[in-house]
C-alpha cells in the first residue's frame, strides 16, 4: 500500500516538473519570440537606416540565430535596446493582440517645422475620422465566415494595396493571400490609372472569384502616385480600405532605379538622373524614383477623398524584419481573424528575406521571385546625405499626417 502511494507521489511530482518545464519553455518563447531574428546592423540598436545603410552585399552572410542565442547576444551587447525591442513586439501568439500603440511622431525640430510651414498643405488632423468601422458586413471577427450561400462571384475589391512602388507591396500581397478570407488578383490590374475607360465590368473580369465573406484585394502601386486615382476609387469603391506600404524613400529610390535598369529604361548612372544637371547637388524631384518617395504629397491627394482611418500604413522595413507583426496589424485593420502569424514565415538566408512556409495553393515553401530583393547600385555617402536632407521635411510631414514616425 505504501509503495503505490510513494510511486503515485513520485509520478505526480515528475508530472508537475514536466508541466513547469513546458510552461517555462512556452513563456520563454513568448518573451523572445523572434524566429526571424537576424543579427544584422538594423536590429540591435534600432538605429535609423540613414546612419547605416542596408548592407546588401552582406545579405547572404547574415546568420540567423535561434531565439536563445539571439536574446543572449543582445542582452549582453545592448540590454536596454533589447528590452525596448521586446516590449515593442506585438501580436504575441499567446494573447493575440497587436500592439496598436504605434509610435507617434514627436514634434520635429524647429528648423524642420519651418520647412514644413513653407511646404504648406492642409492640417492632417482635420482629416475626417470614421466613427465606426466601415465594413462590419465583411468583417470576419473571431471565426472564418466564408461562403454563406456558396456562390462564387467576381467581386469588386474591398481592399486596395495602393503603393508605394518598391516598398514591399508584392510581399504584403503574397503574405495576405495565406488568409482564407482573402482572395487577390495576381498581376497588377492598373484599372484606376491606365484602363479606367474599360469600365467596371472589365475590372471585375480581372478579379478573382470569391465567396461571400471573403475580401477581394487588388494591388497596383501606381495608384498611390497617379493624380486623379483617389477620386476614381472614391467614386467606384467608396467604402474600400486602403493599404499603403512605405519604406525609407532613399532606399526606395535606389530600388526603383534598379528596377528601371533591369528593364533597360534607365541607362545613365543614378547620380546623373537624381540631380539637376546644371546645378549639382540640387535634387531632381520630377524624376520618378525621387518623386515616388514624396509620400506626404501623394498621401494628401488620398486624404482629400478618404478618411485617415480607412488607410493603413505598413512599414516596409518591418515587413522584412518582422512580417508577422505587420500582418497582425493588417489583419486587425481589415477586421479579420488573426490567421497569419509567425508560424507562417521563415527567413531564407540565401534570399536574405522572409519567405512563406507554405504558399496558399501549393502548400510548398515560397519566396518571392528574383525581381524582389535585388542588389542596389552603390551611391556615394555625399549623394546619400543630400537625398536624406532633401526628403527630411517631406518625411516629417508624412509622419504628422499619419501619426507615426518611421525615423528615416
The footprint of ligand A3P (CB under 6 A) covers 165-171, 221, 255, 258, 319-320, 353-354, 368, 372-374
Is 305:231 a contact under the CB 8 Å cutoff?
A: yes
Burial class (CB in 10 A: 0-12, 13-18, 19+), 374: middle
Q: How far is the CB of 165 from ligand A3P (least distance, A)?
A: 6
Nearer Cβ to ligand A3P (178/368): 368
Choice between 189 and 368, CB closer to ligand A3P? 368
Nearer to ligand A3P, 165 or 177 (CB): 165
Rounded to the nearest whole angstrom, what is the least distance from the CB of residue 254 to ligand A3P in the complex?
7
Closer residue to ligand A3P, CB minimum distance, 74 or 170? 170
Task: Give the shortest CB-54-to-ligand A3P separation in angstroms.
Answer: 8
Closest CA to 407 of 49, 44, 45: 49
* Secondary structure (H, E, C), 369-391: CCCCCCCCCCCCHHHHHHHHHHH
Residues 6+ apart with CB under 8 A from 127: 303, 307, 308, 401
Beta strand 215-219 with 241-246: parallel, antiparallel or unpaired? unpaired
As measured in angstroms, the least distance from the Cβ of 270 to ligand A3P is: 13
Between 320 and 328, CB nearer to ligand A3P: 320
Helix (H, G, I), strand (E, B) or coil at 335: coil
Q: What minimum distance in Å lies between the beta carbon of 352 and ligand A3P?
A: 8
Q: Minimum CB separation from ligand A3P for residue 242, in Å?
A: 15
Q: What are phi and psi of 356, to 5 degrees?
A: -90, 135
Smallest gap from Cβ 300 to ligand A3P, in A, equals 21
96: left (phi over 0), alpha (psi -120 to 50) or beta: left
Choice between 109 and 269, CB closer to ligand A3P: 269
Cell of 132: 465606426
Q: Which lies closer to ligand A3P via its Cβ, residue 168 or residue 289?
A: 168
| Minimum distance from residue 353 beta carbon to ligand A3P (Å) | 3
Q: Provide the angle, in degrees to the nearest 10, between the axes of the packed helices 110-119 and 381-402.
A: 70
Q: Are 32 and 68 in contact (CB under 8 A)?
A: yes
C-beta of 53 vs 354, nearer to ligand A3P? 354
Q: 354 pairs with which residues across the strands?
A: 347
Instruction: State the sign of the Cα–Cα–Cα–Cα dihedral 59, 62, 64, 68.
Output: negative
Amino acid at each position: 500500500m505504501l509503495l503505490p502511494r510513494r510511486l503515485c507521489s513520485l509520478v505526480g511530482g515528475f508530472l508537475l516538473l514536466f508541466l513547469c518545464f513546458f510552461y517555462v519553455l512556452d513563456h520563454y518563447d513568448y518573451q523572445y519570440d523572434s524566429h526571424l531574428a537576424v543579427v544584422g546592423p538594423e536590429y540591435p540598436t534600432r538605429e535609423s537606416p540613414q546612419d547605416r545603410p542596408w548592407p546588401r552585399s552582406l545579405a547572404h552572410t547574415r546568420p540567423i540565430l535561434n531565439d536563445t542565442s539571439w536574446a543572449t547576444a543582445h542582452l549582453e551587447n545592448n540590454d536596454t535596446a533589447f528590452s525596448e525591442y521586446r516590449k515593442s513586439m506585438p501580436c504575441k501568439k499567446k494573447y493575440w493582440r497587436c500592439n496598436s500603440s504605434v509610435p507617434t511622431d514627436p514634434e520635429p525640430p524647429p528648423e524642420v517645422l519651418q520647412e514644413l510651414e513653407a511646404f504648406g498643405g492642409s492640417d492632417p488632423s482635420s482629416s475626417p475620422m470614421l466613427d465606426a468601422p466601415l465594413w462590419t458586413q465583411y468583417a470576419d471577427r473571431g471565426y472564418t465566415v466564408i461562403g454563406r450561400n456558396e456562390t462564387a462571384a467576381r467581386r469588386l475589391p474591398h481592399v486596395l494595396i495602393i503603393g508605394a512602388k518598391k516598398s514591399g507591396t508584392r510581399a504584403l500581397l503574397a503574405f495576405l493571400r495565406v488568409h482564407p478570407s482573402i482572395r487577390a488578383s495576381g498581376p497588377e490590374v492598373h484599372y484606376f490609372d491606365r484602363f479606367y475607360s474599360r469600365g467596371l465590368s472589365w475590372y471585375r473580369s480581372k478579379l478573382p472569384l470569391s465567396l461571400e465573406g471573403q475580401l477581394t484585394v487588388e494591388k497596383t502601386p501606381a495608384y498611390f502616385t497617379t493624380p486623379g486615382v483617389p477620386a476614381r476609387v472614391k467614386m467606384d469603391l467608396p467604402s474600400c480600405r486602403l493599404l499603403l506600404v512605405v519604406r525609407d524613400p532613399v532606399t526606395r529610390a535606389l530600388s526603383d532605379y534598379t528596377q528601371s535598369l533591369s528593364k533597360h529604361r534607365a541607362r545613365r548612372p543614378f547620380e546623373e538622373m537624381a540631380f539637376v544637371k546644371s546645378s549639382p547637388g540640387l535634387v531632381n524631384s520630377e524624376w520618378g524614383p525621387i518623386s515616388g518617395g514624396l509620400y506626404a504629397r501623394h498621401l494628401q491627394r488620398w486624404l482629400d477623398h478618404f478618411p485617415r482611418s480607412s488607410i493603413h500604413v505598413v512599414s516596409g522595413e518591418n515587413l522584412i524584419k518582422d512580417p508577422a507583426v505587420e500582418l497582425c496589424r493588417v489583419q486587425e485593420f481589415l477586421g479579420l481573424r488573426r490567421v497569419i502569424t509567425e508560424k507562417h514565415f521563415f527567413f531564407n538566408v540565401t534570399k536574405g528575406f522572409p519567405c512563406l512556409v507554405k504558399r496558399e495553393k501549393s502548400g510548398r515553401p515560397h519566396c518571392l521571385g528574383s525581381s524582389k530583393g535585388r542588389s542596389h547600385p552603390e551611391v556615394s555617402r555625399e549623394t546619400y546625405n543630400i537625398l536624406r536632407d532633401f526628403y527630411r521635411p517631406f518625411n516629417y510631414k508624412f509622419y504628422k499626417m499619419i501619426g507615426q514616425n518611421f525615423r528615416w
